Structure 1
Amino acid sequence: MLQWKGVMPAVTTKFTANDQLDLDMFEKNIKAQMEAGVHGIILGGTLGEASTLEPDEKEILIKASLAIADGKIPVVMNVAEQSTKDAIAMAQQAEKAGADGLMVLPPMRYRATDFETVTYFKAIANNTSLPIMLYNNPVDYKIEVTLDMLEDLLECSNIQAIKESTRDITNIIRLQNRFGDRVKVFTGVDTLGLESLAIGADGWVAGLVCAFPAETVAIYELVKAGRINEALEIYRWFMPLLELDISPQLVQNIKLAEVATGIGTENVRLPRLPLQGGERQRVLKIIETGLKNRPVLPDYKNLRSNA
């Protein structure tokens, strides 16, 4: 059974220079994530360039990830399709391919009403047996999953978690006050990671973890063990890098960071292009400064958690 907790990277999709899936580099990155102690991986999200992936490529990524994970961590597939029919088909394809769970975005390219959004999510949940994490990000997708909407959605027993990206971390408290342990709450904003965990978030769907897995997991484990000051020291170092996640060019930013740490390439899929000019130099400087001052981590894998 999928345990909705811990650090779950929204992994980047690796491409070769001729725009094919780069499964060798993908495997190198996933192994680095696992070695650092992540608790699961999420494929084909915004950071994974979902909108440019073909259905067969998504299936290849699921199967490759399952082979690498070897049952040690769950593999979660993102669902972000243009129609309800396609979303159901993607969910069923992921289940057939062996995925352990789904992260589901609201309807894309259409600002659905609350009723339409609930109907959409229920249609997907009722057509798969996989456990589901809903993605609540009204800042980027202009659709909010309110507490009342979520209460309606919890009629579906396989809706079990929510990625909370409203930028209002007090919503974590509201969710837990209302639904208790029925809904596992993940923070989805890198620059609110520590704060969200400190007030009780169950996990962190992270972005810069793709390049810095150990530092991200260390923050999670230290917070859950009650060692906030040690976590905060790492987090302060990390913040300029984490801010690379809250940008329209987050894919390019994070892929540049992956290059710097040796677990990725800069290849993106059109219409995206690698960063150019002054912006590229700005991002590189942030990455280089971060690497130069990279903290020495405690033995975070062997902490006694208070969680």
Structure 2
Amino acid sequence: MSINWEGVMPAVTTKFNENDELDLKAFKINIQAQLDAGVHGIVLGGTLGEASTLSDDEKRTLTRETVAFVNDKVPVIINIAEQTTKAAIEAAKRAEEDGAKGLMMLPPMRYKSGDKETVEYFKAVANSTKLPIMVYNNPVDYKVEVTLDMFEDLLKNCPNIQAVKESTRDISNITRIINRFGNRLKIMTGVDTLALESLLMGANGWIAGLVCAFPKETVAIYELQKVGRIKEALEIYRWFLPLLELDINPKLVQNIKLAEVATGIGTENVRAPRLPLSGEERKHVLDVIAQGIKTRPSLPDYKNL
């Protein structure tokens, strides 16, 4: 199997109802908005998708329902964030059975694995599945870095490791990856506040967060920069930045779900131990969202550039 690792792929939120059950109706409203905006893939069960709170059955339901709903318009990718190699291999197997087209993979959770342990973990899962894999490299939040030397080993031994979600926060790392691996390792930027900069430095696409609430604006930035209309992309990006900063925050899930409510394509419900925002924190986020909506830019016909 192969995925065209480029374009905008939303790391979608998981919707819950008042009884803390999956809200598939609200979920599909958001997925449809993403498809209408022209996204290039859907990523399920990431940090923003509250993966650590989902049961295996809920992940399977989300995968199957999304695959059926999307109906091959774009690839559906599910995140693997497990504590053991055995569990990660089982998760990859379930993903393949449920129709996912690819995997996003974090290093082992909770245990801070060493370099060799991390490489062997990725190898074991990659060699257990036919699905293409994007390694999620986020040492800032998850404290394990996949270095270029580690990628060298992985790419040599695992042809289905095809991409990296680059979240080191170091823009120059994009150039290092390209210099080292050329087109062998596709780069998907994973930090909303560095997205346009990353794309201009050669990233192939954007695993996005605020796209969950503002899909058209996100895709417009990608498409405009792709055809060299940088000034127009930059104008939208500068408008977007205060909103994008809601993603680089420990409460990104609550922040972005509030934004989804404001744009009419989501609900605020989160799963405990998360709680809805309150007090001054809530007021600040709502003010940022309100200002963004008030000044929302007119977009060019970005789908036909």
Q: Same fold (TM over 0.5)?
A: yes
- 1:91-125 deviations in Å (ceiling 9; x for gaps): 11000111000000011101110000001110110
C-alpha displacement of 1:169: 1.1
When normalised by structure 2's length, the TM-score is: 0.99
Is 1:130–2:131 an aligned residue pair?
yes
When normalised by structure 1's length, the TM-score is: 0.98
2:275 aligns to what?
A: 273
Is 1:44–2:45 an aligned residue pair?
yes
* Pairwise CA RMSD: 0.5
1:199 aligns to what?
A: 201
* 3-state SS of 2:188 partner: strand
1:26 aligns to what?
A: 27
- 1:187-230 deviations in Å (ceiling 9; x for gaps): 00000010000111000000000000000000000010101100
Alpha-carbon distance in structure 2 between the residues aligned to 1:85 and 1:202:
31
* 3-state SS of 2:219 partner: helix
Alpha-carbon distance in structure 2 between the residues aligned to 1:14 and 1:170:
36
Alpha-carbon distance in structure 1 between the residues aligned to 2:224 and 2:111:
40
Is 1:183–2:185 an aligned residue pair?
yes
5 Å-filtered alignment, 1:1-307, equals: 1-154=2-155, 155-303=157-305
C-alpha displacement of 1:179: 0.5
* 3-state SS of 1:17 partner: coil
* 3-state SS of 1:245 partner: coil
Alpha-carbon distance in structure 1 between the residues aligned to 2:189 and 2:6:
11
C-alpha displacement of 1:22: 0.3
Question: Residue 215 of structure 1 aligns to which amino acid in structure 2?
Answer: E
Question: Residue 33 of structure 1 aligns to which amino acid in structure 2?
Answer: Q
Alpha-carbon distance in structure 2 between the residues aligned to 1:287 and 1:11:
18
* 3-state SS of 1:182 partner: coil
- 1:65-106 deviations in Å (ceiling 9; x for gaps): 111111110000000011111111111100011100000001
Question: Residue 185 of structure 2 aligns to which amino acid in structure 1?
Answer: V
Alpha-carbon distance in structure 1 between the residues aligned to 2:189 and 2:273:
29
Alpha-carbon distance in structure 2 between the residues aligned to 1:198 and 1:68:
33
C-alpha displacement of 1:231: 0.3
C-alpha displacement of 1:2: 1.6
* 3-state SS of 2:181 partner: helix
Question: Residue 235 of structure 2 aligns to which amino acid in structure 1?
Answer: E
Alpha-carbon distance in structure 1 between the residues aligned to 2:102 and 2:214:
24
* 3-state SS of 1:257 partner: helix
C-alpha displacement of 1:153: 0.5
Alpha-carbon distance in structure 1 between the residues aligned to 2:202 and 2:223:
13
Alpha-carbon distance in structure 1 between the residues aligned to 2:32 and 2:73:
11
The count of corresponding residues between Structure 1 and Structure 2 is 303
* 3-state SS of 1:76 partner: strand
Structure 1 stretches lacking a partner, 5+ long: none
Identity across matched positions, percent: 71
- 1:119-139 deviations in Å (ceiling 9; x for gaps): 111011011110000000000
Alpha-carbon distance in structure 1 between the residues aligned to 2:113 and 2:220:
38
Alpha-carbon distance in structure 2 between the residues aligned to 1:85 and 1:120:
9
* 3-state SS of 2:124 partner: helix
Question: Residue 83 of structure 2 aligns to which amino acid in structure 1?
Answer: Q
Alpha-carbon distance in structure 2 between the residues aligned to 1:87 and 1:146:
21
Alpha-carbon distance in structure 2 between the residues aligned to 1:82 and 1:25:
30
* 3-state SS of 1:162 partner: strand
C-alpha displacement of 1:185: 0.3
- 1:231-254 deviations in Å (ceiling 9; x for gaps): 000000000000000000000000
Alpha-carbon distance in structure 1 between the residues aligned to 2:148 and 2:180:
8
Alpha-carbon distance in structure 2 between the residues aligned to 1:170 and 1:17:
44
